[in-house]
Chain A
Amino acid sequence: MIRLQNVRKVFNADKANEFVAIEGVNLSIDSHGATVLKGPSGSGKTTLLSILGCMARPTSGRIMLKEREITSLPERFLTEVRRETFGIVFQQFNLIKGITALENVMLPAYPNGEKHASLKKRAMELLDLLNLIGKAFSKVEWLSGGEAQRIAIARALINNPAIIIADEPTAHLDTRLSREFMEIMRQLKKEGKTLLIASHDPIVYDSTVIDRIVEIRDGKIVSSGDIP
């Protein structure tokens, strides 16, 4: 589904503080699988995830999404690809404070120009699916950790993406909520979504949901084997 060829990402190029985040990365992610990017903080995991998720462009190398080369797509089009293909769950959920849970879920679809009413209906259906219907009109700062996490998942699903990306999703959750998160992931995988999770939490990478672990260290892939 996604193929990276010899991808390299440099920050502050040609300056004293030049920093190579990832280098020489070749990686191929298949559809319908669940992959974990594992590695210590500062290993280039987040950079790799943001390149895979079309949030950043590599300094060099090539990226293919399905059969389309998206390496040098300008931001205007890359964003479109990202919006249609990826749903993203962040480490701290990154919900927008001061507005309702429902609005948070609807936000990623605003630029699509969908009718407000039909968008709202879809968002409510998603909230219903995740048992959050009662919280639709609560402000997000009043939600519990578990609820906030499920709102973040609902938001990632609103544009019906093929791939779900999660960046350290369990870092701020207790064990029970972490397991609950993985159960939701299992459900999504069953529905045919491709999962891509960056984590160094054993609850995540030891979970039976996961098909494959890619290990990164110092910007390079050290192992990318399938789980037997």
Chain B
Amino acid sequence: MIFHPGILALLLGSALTTSMLCYSAYEGVRIIRNWDIRSGSERQLELERRTYLVSTVMSYVLGFQLLSLFLFIYTADTLSPLFIGAMCAAGSLNVNGFGYSALVLKIVSCLLAGLWLVVNFTDNRAYDYPLIRKKYWLLLFITPFLIAETSVQAGYLLGLRPNIITSCCGTLFSTDAKTVMSEFLALPRLLSEAAFFLSAPITVALGLYVYLRSKGAYLFSIVSFIHFLISIGALISFISIYFYELPTHHCPFCILHPEYGYVGYPMYLAILVSAVSGLGTGIINPFRNIASLCNVIPRIQKRLALISILSNSAFVLIAGYGILFSNLSMAAY
């Protein structure tokens, strides 16, 4: 293990959030088993109070997850000089088998926590809390992901062994570690360009349709998710190189560096927000016929669609700015 403050911070933060979540899951089980809104018994009143605790915990969990996603990448970046052949996070995440799994789990748990908050927000707008059991089942579904995320992250961070000089031997001869992930994601440029420039307007158009007509939430939701994957692929395969001004550099992480004005942060944030809001419209759609929700859900879906439209546009605008004002001319390649 490397005794690095960033590593300590990540381990501590994850351990704390996960234990809070486990506690919430325990409360969730109690709520699923004993909830009876018609009752005025003290137990029911107590359970109602607990729902406030769980909501609060989940809002914090989402906040922490989002921060820790970026802190994780940043830490991997900072540690890269310790590993031969690692130029940035892409290399140090590859040092052991857990790096990329931890990253993927972190992204997934961010999305899941965001979706839970969407469901919770919806449920809290209905006077009879119609989704109460469903949302606590969802919470029980999310908890293992966070536990997995915490364990895999710990496995990754604790398993790091820096390539340092020891008194007994000199130069360490190791082959340059290849950044498998970025090569895998560096899809053929034309294909990913086509996919992105097709899926971006479609997603925005469907978002507008949901916003104006309050219809088509499922389709919008599915398309949003596909667009989420395409956006990440596009960012790596062709958008980032305009920022790097290097036609062969397909790194998903260098774009977060200060030399590119931290432009990666708003871009990744926009991708995540639009994925959560897009998926959120779909996840609450099955409940739109519940009496106490039939007025609420279309309003929330409208708002989510708007958020999705805005964040997608923000992403396209930043990417477009990078492409148009880049000194890199792709014509030569």
Q: Touch between A and B in complex, CB under 8 Å?
A: yes
Instruction: List A residues at the B interface (Cβ < 8 Å).
Output: 10-13, 57-61, 71-77
Residues of A within 8 A of B127 (CB): 73-74, 77
Report the bound CA distance from A55 to B37 in whole Å.
Answer: 17
Task: Identify which of A72, A76, A77 contacts B38 (C-beta below 8 A).
Answer: A72
Q: Is the CB of A75 within 8 A of B37?
A: no
B45 within 8 A of A: yes
Min CB gap B293→A, angstroms: 14
Q: Is the CB of B40 within 8 A of A59?
A: yes
Residues of A within 8 A of B129 (CB): 74
Report the bound CA distance from A57 to B39 in whole Å.
Answer: 9
Q: From B124, which residue of chain A is reached at the shortest CB distance?
A: A76
Q: Is the CB of B42 within 8 A of A13?
A: yes
B41 within 8 A of A: yes
- Beyond known contacts A57-B45, A60-B40, A74-B37: 13 more, CB 8 A cutoff: A11-B42, A12-B42, A57-B40, A59-B41, A59-B42, A61-B40, A71-B40, A72-B38, A72-B40, A73-B127, A74-B48, A74-B127, A74-B128
What are 21 inter-chain pairs, A to B, with CB distance below 8 A?
Answer: A10-B42, A12-B42, A13-B41, A13-B42, A57-B45, A59-B40, A59-B41, A59-B42, A61-B40, A72-B37, A72-B38, A72-B39, A72-B40, A72-B128, A73-B127, A74-B48, A74-B127, A74-B128, A74-B129, A75-B48, A76-B124
Q: From A73, which residue of chain B is reached at the shortest CB distance?
A: B127
Residues of A within 8 A of B42 (CB): 10-13, 59
Report the bound CA distance from A147 to B42 in whole Å.
Answer: 39
Residues of B within 8 A of A61 (CB): 40
Residues of A within 8 A of B124 (CB): 76
Report the bound CA distance from A12 to B42 in whole Å.
Answer: 8
Q: From A13, which residue of chain B is reached at the shortest CB distance?
A: B42
Report the bound CA distance from A75 to B46 in whole Å.
Answer: 11
Min CB gap A63→B, angstroms: 10
Q: From B126, which residue of chain A is reached at the shortest CB distance?
A: A77
Q: From B132, which residue of chain A is reached at the shortest CB distance?
A: A74
Would you give the 0/1 interface string for B113-151, flagging 1 where the beta carbon is closer than 8 Å to chain A? 000000000001001110000000000000000000000
Q: Is the CB of B40 within 8 A of A58?
A: yes
Q: From A71, which residue of chain B is reached at the shortest CB distance?
A: B40
Residues of A within 8 A of B128 (CB): 72, 74
Would you give the 0/1 interface string for B27-57, flagging 1 where the beta carbon is closer than 8 Å to chain A? 0000000000111111001001100000000
Min CB gap B27→A, angstroms: 16
Min CB gap B55→A, angstroms: 10
The 9 closest A-B pairs by CB, nearest first: A57-B40, A77-B127, A59-B40, A72-B38, A58-B40, A72-B37, A13-B42, A74-B48, A73-B127
Min CB gap A38→B, angstroms: 26
Residues of B within 8 A of A73 (CB): 127
Residues of B within 8 A of A74 (CB): 37, 48, 127-129
Min CB gap A9→B, angstroms: 8
Q: From A58, which residue of chain B is reached at the shortest CB distance?
A: B40
Report the bound CA distance from A147 to B38 in whole Å.
Answer: 43
Residues of A within 8 A of B38 (CB): 71-72
Residues of A within 8 A of B37 (CB): 72, 74
Min CB gap B121→A, angstroms: 12
Q: From B45, which residue of chain A is reached at the shortest CB distance?
A: A57
Would you give the 0/1 interface string for B168-184, flagging 1 where the beta carbon is closer than 8 Å to chain A? 00000000000000000
Q: From B38, which residue of chain A is reached at the shortest CB distance?
A: A72
Min CB gap A16→B, angstroms: 15
Residues of A within 8 A of B39 (CB): 72
Min CB gap B187→A, angstroms: 47
Min CB gap A68→B, angstroms: 10
Report the bound CA distance from A10 to B44 in whole Å.
Answer: 13
Report the bound CA distance from A13 to B37 in whole Å.
Answer: 17
Report the bound CA distance from A61 to B38 in whole Å.
Answer: 10
Report the bound CA distance from A72 to B49 in whole Å.
Answer: 14
Min CB gap B29→A, angstroms: 20
Report the bound CA distance from A61 to B127 in whole Å.
Answer: 19
Min CB gap A211→B, angstroms: 30
Min CB gap A10→B, angstroms: 8
Residues of B within 8 A of A72 (CB): 37-40, 128
Report the bound CA distance from A11 to B128 in whole Å.
Answer: 24
Report the bound CA distance from A73 to B127 in whole Å.
Answer: 6
Min CB gap B131→A, angstroms: 13
Residues of B within 8 A of A13 (CB): 41-42
Report the bound CA distance from A57 to B128 in whole Å.
Answer: 15
Report the bound CA distance from A165 to B54 in whole Å.
Answer: 33
Min CB gap A189→B, angstroms: 31
Report the bound CA distance from A77 to B127 in whole Å.
Answer: 6
Report the bound CA distance from A179 to B39 in whole Å.
Answer: 42
Report the bound CA distance from A59 to B36 in whole Å.
Answer: 12
Residues of B within 8 A of A71 (CB): 38, 40
Report the bound CA distance from A91 to B184 in whole Å.
Answer: 72
Residues of B within 8 A of A75 (CB): 48-49
Residues of A within 8 A of B48 (CB): 74-75
Report the bound CA distance from A12 to B45 in whole Å.
Answer: 12
Residues of A within 8 A of B41 (CB): 13, 59
